[in-house]
Structure 1
Amino acid sequence: MGKQASQYDKIFKENIEAVIPSLMQNVLGITAVEAEELPDDIQHTKERKPDVLKKITDSHGNTYVLQIEFQVADEPKMVYRMAEYYVMLQRKYEIPVEQYVIYLGAAKPQMPTQLDGSWMKFKFRLISFAELDYHIFLKSVRPEEVVLGVLANFKEDSPERALAQIIQRIEETANGDFPLKKYFKQLRVLAQLRNLENNLKDIAMDSISKFVSVEKDAAYLVGLDKGKEIFVIYLLKAGSLTVEQIADIAGVSAEFVKNVQQKQSKDK
């Protein structure tokens, strides 16, 4: 989980500034008329780095520190960490503090959200990403946000239909080949949180003709060993590509393609 968690963390750090305005509006119910970035290190007796830290003035005229944490693990001691944040932020800025933990796991989180001691009472808001409607993210014009739809609730849609729509929307919103590859890779990583790798593999193969600029990423989605052979077979069945073109698309040698081709002929 350590290596995977760092992958998820990297994706959110890359996309955070693009997705925060919409998350505030559509998920947290905050309409910000002014937002000021705050230093993300809070140093007093120890140093903490919140995922999101902003000074917000909302449409009702309220001004406060907004802290958001994205959590992959269902951390039973999260409440103590959030309480530490609260005290340090309140001490540093001396204005109200609003805190949210957005849980990215698939199951319903069990982490406690409040402390109820004799001399201290504290609680934070916990939002489960898996309960959010994925159509919220499909409506976005930002691919950084669209890709997060894979972590949301597909409602009545099958995983295949939902993934196909997410992929299509990424293609529509990504500006150029390089961003398209980037968000396709992010989608692959995030799909692991929902055990959707095989569904995504099938969608990627079925939609390959629409993703000419991300051929090698599609090959990666179906695996690096057996997946390459499967991918070559798929392209051979298309019937419109030369051996050299298939080799280039799949990232293999022409000899590899010919061997697969011969094997397929023998199996018929």
Structure 2
Amino acid sequence: MAYDNICRYLAQAYPIPFASWLLNAEVIEIQPLPTELSLEPIRSDALYLLPNSGQILHLEFQTVPTSSPPLPLRMLDYWVRLYRKYECPIEQVVIFLKETKSPIVYVERLAVGGTIHPYRVVRLWEQELTPLLENPALLPLAVLARTDTPEVLLKQVADRIGRIEEPEQQQNISACTEILARLKFDKNLIRQFLQEDLMRESPLYQEILQEGELKLVLRLLTRKLGNIEPKLQTQIQQLSSEQLEALGEALLDFSVTQDLVTWLENYQ
């Protein structure tokens, strides 16, 4: 499951709660910025312009500490591109999701020769629970906060999700919470406190499922038929979840690309 993608969704859907939490200040006005930066395209997880303070807040979510290129170099690369484009102060925050003893999660700067570039690091397993319970947008992160009593933590988060009045928001927050909780807790423990039916009704969860089904079907087709031409890939991407499931069964009988073409023509 793409845990970073869940966090990217939350940060983009609820920018003010994230900015207020990370800056420890009330943020009233915020302007999301394009996350794809210039030169060789790289995409950040979340970018906000805070007009009142004239600064940019840049967030990166990490499930594992290692990356290529290494995270400190990536943060410098992001900073240079952002400053070149916007010429304003930039607050960079890396949020590590899954607890680890790796020393990498304690590195908070790039230091090479005379070049030193600092950034903030948030290790969620060290964070206090209370601030994350105060806003529905941060509830999915709350399950990864510091605790000695997992059952109490999960119950508190579940109770707060139950108070969300808007149905679709409640479903999406529930889905994000259950998915991120899998980084830390056993599934059986999660099911004791979080309502699985809420997650499955979530439009976001359905989108995640469909994305996973699409990747699986394309991978199976490539193994069966070789490279799939872009035109056919586009047609496959437009299929519904039910159609992807049907294609996943049908492709077992395919032997040549024309079999796929014929199948798609019938469904159209």
Q: Which runs of 5+ in 2 are unaligned?
A: 202-268
Q: Counterparts of 1:1-268 in structure 2 under 5 Å? A: 4=1, 6=2, 8-44=3-39, 46-58=40-52, 62-75=53-66, 77-107=70-100, 110-111=103-104, 112-140=107-135, 142=136, 144-154=137-147, 158-176=149-167, 179-203=169-193, 214=198
Instruction: Output the TM-score relative to the length of structure 2.
Output: 0.64
Alpha-carbon offset, residue 216 of structure 1: 7.4
- Of all paired residues, the percent bearing the same amino acid is 24
User: What residue identity is the alignment partner of 2:144?
Assistant: L
Instruction: Output the TM-score relative to the length of structure 1.
Output: 0.64
- CA radius of gyration, larger in: 1
Deviations 1:6-57 (A, max 9, x none): 2x1332233223443223223332443542222211112x111111112223
Aligned residue-pair number: 197
Deviations 1:222-258 (A, max 9, x none): xxxxxxxxxxxxxxxxxxxxxxxxxxxxxxxxxxxxx
**Aligned Cα root-mean-square deviation (Å):** 2.7
User: What residue identity is the alignment partner of 1:150?
Assistant: V
Instruction: Tell me if the contact between 1:115 and 1:123 (Cα under 8 Å) persists in the aligned partners.
Output: yes
Instruction: Tell me if the contact between 1:138 and 1:169 (Cα under 8 Å) persists in the aligned partners.
Output: yes
* Counterpart-to-counterpart distance in 2, 1:167 and 1:115: 39
Alpha-carbon offset, residue 127 of structure 1: 0.9
* Structure-2 change in CA distance of 1:57 and 1:31 (3 Å): farther
* Counterpart-to-counterpart distance in 1, 2:122 and 2:30: 22
SS at match of 1:115: strand
* Structure-2 change in CA distance of 1:19 and 1:135 (3 Å): farther
* Structure-2 change in CA distance of 1:69 and 1:214 (3 Å): closer
